[in-house]
Structure 1
Amino acid sequence: MLRRAIAAAAAVAVTAGAGSATYKQNKRFQEDGIKQFHRASFNQPPKGWTGPVFEPSLDFPRHPPNGKQSYPYPWETIDFKKEPEKYLEAVLNYCFEGNIETDFVPRNNKVRKWYHAPWMTQTPFGREPLHGLTFERPAPIGYLGKSQKRLLQTWAMGMYNEAGGYTLGQVWTKKYEPTSKPEGHSLKFPNGAVTFKLLFSQANKHDLPFLDGSPTWKATIARKPFDDYGGPSVERTEPKDLHLLQVDIAVRDRRAGDTTGWIFGTFMYHDSVKNESPWKRLMPVCLMWGNDPGLDQKKYDEGYRPKESWVNPAAIKALEIPHAKRPYLGWLDRGNGPVDNYISSCLSCHATANTPRLELTFKTGKEGNIIDKEERIVLFFRNIAAGDPFGFVGDPLDYSLQLAAGADSNDDWREHWLEQQQPKFLSQFFGRGGTEWQRPGPPLSTFPEHKLAARGIVLSDYSDKEKSEVVQ
């Protein structure tokens, strides 16, 4: 509250100094914001690094591509409820065409264009410089199987196709600030919008034998996964080998309009899958198109199971579920990814995409059961239509947590920028002329626990030993 009050006072001061113009019309504010929009990573490449570095693809389409789509997308002829594996395979092949051979560098893809979400670089959660990977939920000891004896950091990179990229561009028309209501109405991705995410783990084949042969990327990861504020440290390691663990896909499919309008799916790397390309040794994990509203603990105990998720029994076996750290893949057997928090599901998590960020956390008991109030559980596992709001505060961002993270980072950066304009005013509170704020991004104090929870990170899931880990 104090920090926002300071920012508000600074905004008044900046506005007053600019005559009748608001700070958003301030030329320096706009120029600094545009620089942040194009910023490639949170930290710089390590000294002496001579390999490739990440360059974001931000030249978004100005017109929706669906108008020139004269043929169906390859998955549109597949009944996702009857043939979930076939649907997953069609989407995955679409996502990987032209990307595998170019190491997922969009400018080199000759098949189709792909885009990154901007404003993912302002905090320690943000992109590292070698592959543009962002910090994701670490896997607690034993979460991915009995052989996992240490906490494992997870880092990810996501991309959007042209239909998705068009929507990103509508949100970030001004670059220095987002709009959550392009053309005056709630944000909604068009049919055919696709996003996928590659999740890499600090694990190796000794931690998780099924990762043997997994594609490897170099990345500068957090020296500590949990710094004093609860998230990854500012300090980064020298380049480390990370291994592909999980691939997520999400599709705006009008045929799922009776539930959410979105179809989410997940794969995991597994060495038992035979394919010449390591990138395609992927085992389908799940596909989901709804949250199965009303499926609570009582009904689950009575024998009811999700009807709006398909979960692959082979993946459950590979992940040794259930076990002490994980009674389900997703909450009460809903669809979810291997590294994701089991008290949620793919859709329930992404449905909270909103600006400003929503404060939603749950507590679990010793048996892994959610012990929060029943009405909060019912609220969380609803079927929310594409473009509809999750709650009653702010504006929905149509299941895009990357848009939500970007808007959140922009909000923190704006306050940070305003504070920097008034060092004398700040010195009254901090006695250092505002120098506390001279970080590459906002102060770490801006990340209370609910912002960690928005990224699937619940600090109580980790032991004190895990939280004090330092990567050498």
Structure 2
Amino acid sequence: MAKRALLFSLVSLFFAAFLSASPAQVADGPPCAVHEGTPFNEAARIKFECSSTRPLTEGASHREFALKLGSLAAIATPKLSWKQIDPMQEPARYVKALLEYGVKDNQGVDWRIEDNKASTWCHAPWFQDLRERLRGMTLERGSRPFELHARQQTFSQNWAIGFYNDVACRRLALVWQDPASPKTKDFAFPDGSYAIKLLFTAAAPSEVPYLAGSLEWDAAIGEKGEVTRMRLLQVDVAVKDNRLNGVSGWFFGTFMYDAATPGNTPYERLTPVGVTWGSDPTLTAFQYEQRGKAVRESWVNPAVAEKFFALPRHTLGLFGRLNGPVDNPKSSCIACHGQALDWGRAITRGSLAEVSAGLLMPGPPQDPYDDGVVGRYFVNLGTASFVNGTQPLDYSLQVALGIKNFRAWVFANYPQMADQTTDVPKFSFPTDPFEVAPAAPPEPSMELFMR
């Protein structure tokens, strides 16, 4: 009888542990593992639905991130509060309406959108190898000493996660309707598509005082999955608004957390940095420094700009263009997102194709006084691509990087399928005849986010 009781207790303990464990903990091998011999379609589905493959330590008591994908289900006509506001006449009110829209739906569930029963939000797929396990954040450009504040003595890591509204989610679902063959031909988001991104920093209030009292999350950002306390620093919003189709069709807005801003919650203390809809192509160093010209296709909050004027970065974006405190001061929101495109092929790390792509794709000017480089980067693309012969992806870096990561995975693991998993032409580089196979499988890319 005693033996039966002991056996029953052991079995009960086993099932209790099994049922309380996360799927990643009970999986056969690493999270979302694809075993040798798995058919391509099934392997692609496993990777597509995977939340995170990164390690996790010290996180047994934490809730893990759960990927939520877009749906093809019909959606109701959205009520878009910002449509009643003229962004040219009331830019501050317009960008605040964008922030309120995203926060209203998600703050109640602390951005665990799988818990949101009132509305449909989703994440972009194919970041499973980059997302940390607790909040699904991915590594962003880090903040160099003194970029955030005069007291900032050390480099700080920044991590972020983005969310899409139901209008945008349905378009993402169309791209990935077949997880083994994404469709990017003629890609464009419909009017009313909206995205919001929360950027957290490892910087402490002792070095960046305006972070005091900010929203805090634990994130497994260590190389072995060690958990670090992060603080909300920046929030980016973007909306497809067809009232300005000729320039970009988008409005990008940025907020920063500031402890000095009146408010009872961290969200109320988010201060608008600005809103932008174009790249100001004619704004050169001479125009800015010698003639006193200012941006015309952005509104930048002068109170926020003043905070950064005395720092080494001097401006938020180049020559007064809009960028967030975390972002590259030699770039701008619109110019950076304009790089979103699909090459129709894999571009692996260390390959000649990667070198060629880097030469074809304009990047932030290292020398701001080189008008030629500045002019090639700060252009108003409209619906065109930065590189002729490639498919533009409507200013969405998350779509572009997800596609890039998918194509690299296919090339490394199922090379015979590489040319069968694209519906846009494969871009041909002059160096293709001299290309050799990479020595190691390519790593997932965050290149555009890190610029």
User: TM-score normalized by structure 2?
Assistant: 0.79
- The runs of 5 or more residues in structure 2 that have no matched partner are 1-36, 348-356, 418-436
User: Which amino acid counterpart does residue 333 of structure 2 have in structure 1?
Assistant: C
Q: CA deviation at 1:443?
A: 3.8
Q: CA deviation at 1:364?
A: 2.6
Structure 1 match to 2:450: 456
User: Which amino acid counterpart does residue 165 of structure 2 have in structure 1?
Assistant: N
Structure 1 match to 2:411: 415
- The runs of 5 or more residues in structure 1 that have no matched partner are 1-25, 223-234, 422-433, 458-472
CA distance in 2: counterparts of 1:174 and 1:420, whole angstroms: 18
> Are the equivalent residues in 2 in contact too, given 1:97–1:111 (CA < 8 A)?
no
> Are the equivalent residues in 2 in contact too, given 1:163–1:192 (CA < 8 A)?
yes
> Are the equivalent residues in 1 in contact too, given 2:365–2:374 (CA < 8 A)?
no
CA distance in 1: counterparts of 2:395 and 2:164, whole angstroms: 13
Q: Say if 1:381 and 1:61 are closer, same or farther in 2 by CA, change over 3 A.
A: same
- Partner of 2:402, secondary structure, is helix
Deviations 1:268-323 (A, max 9, x none): 000111222223210100101111121112222322111110001111233x3243
User: Which amino acid counterpart does residue 374 of structure 2 have in structure 1?
Assistant: I
Q: CA deviation at 1:176?
A: 2.4
Q: CA deviation at 1:113?
A: 1.1
Structure 2 match to 1:20: none
Structure 1 match to 2:322: 335
Q: CA deviation at 1:389?
A: 1.9
Match 1:50 to one of 46, 61, 67: 61
Structure 1 match to 2:283: 295
Structure exhibiting the larger radius of gyration computed from Cα positions: 2
- Show the 5 A alignment for 1:377-456: 377-385=374-382, 387-418=383-414, 442-444=441-443, 452=447, 454-456=448-450
CA distance in 2: counterparts of 1:322 and 1:393, whole angstroms: 43
Q: CA deviation at 1:383?
A: 1.4
Structure 2 match to 1:127: 131
Match 1:139 to one of 136, 143, 154: 143
Structure 1 match to 2:13: none
- Partner of 1:279, secondary structure, is coil
Q: Say if 1:362 and 1:96 are closer, same or farther in 2 by CA, change over 3 A.
A: closer
User: TM-score normalized by structure 1?
Assistant: 0.76
Q: Say if 1:42 and 1:140 are closer, same or farther in 2 by CA, change over 3 A.
A: farther
CA distance in 2: counterparts of 1:296 and 1:189, whole angstroms: 31
Structure 2 match to 1:36: 47
CA distance in 2: counterparts of 1:31 and 1:219, whole angstroms: 30
User: Which amino acid counterpart does residue 97 of structure 1 have in structure 2?
Assistant: K
- Show the 5 A alignment for 1:53-452: 53-63=64-74, 65=75, 68-69=76-77, 72-122=79-129, 126-181=130-185, 186-222=186-222, 235-301=223-289, 302-318=291-307, 320-324=308-312, 326-356=313-343, 359=358, 360-365=362-367, 369-371=368-370, 374-385=371-382, 387-418=383-414, 442-444=441-443, 452=447
Deviations 1:6-60 (A, max 9, x none): xxxxxxxxxxxxxxxxxxxx97011111100011113143265122110011142
Deviations 1:91-150 (A, max 9, x none): 11110113112110112223321110000123xxx1101000000000011111111110
> Are the equivalent residues in 2 in contact too, given 1:60–1:169 (CA < 8 A)?
yes
Deviations 1:337-385 (A, max 9, x none): 11100111000100110113852334534xxx354xx333222211122
CA distance in 2: counterparts of 1:308 and 1:53, whole angstroms: 41
Higher relative contact order (Cα pairs below 8 Å, separated by 6+ residues): 1
CA distance in 2: counterparts of 1:217 and 1:131, whole angstroms: 8
Q: Say if 1:207 and 1:396 are closer, same or farther in 2 by CA, change over 3 A.
A: same
- Partner of 2:260, secondary structure, is coil
Deviations 1:49-75 (A, max 9, x none): 122110011142344x3xx41x64100
Q: Say if 1:322 and 1:47 are closer, same or farther in 2 by CA, change over 3 A.
A: closer
- Partner of 1:243, secondary structure, is strand
Greater displacement, 27-36 / 127-136: 27-36
State how many pairs are aligned: 379
Question: Identical aligned pairs, as a percentage?
Answer: 34
- Partner of 1:169, secondary structure, is helix
RMSD: 2.3
Structure 2 match to 1:430: none
> Are the equivalent residues in 2 in contact too, given 1:177–1:410 (CA < 8 A)?
no
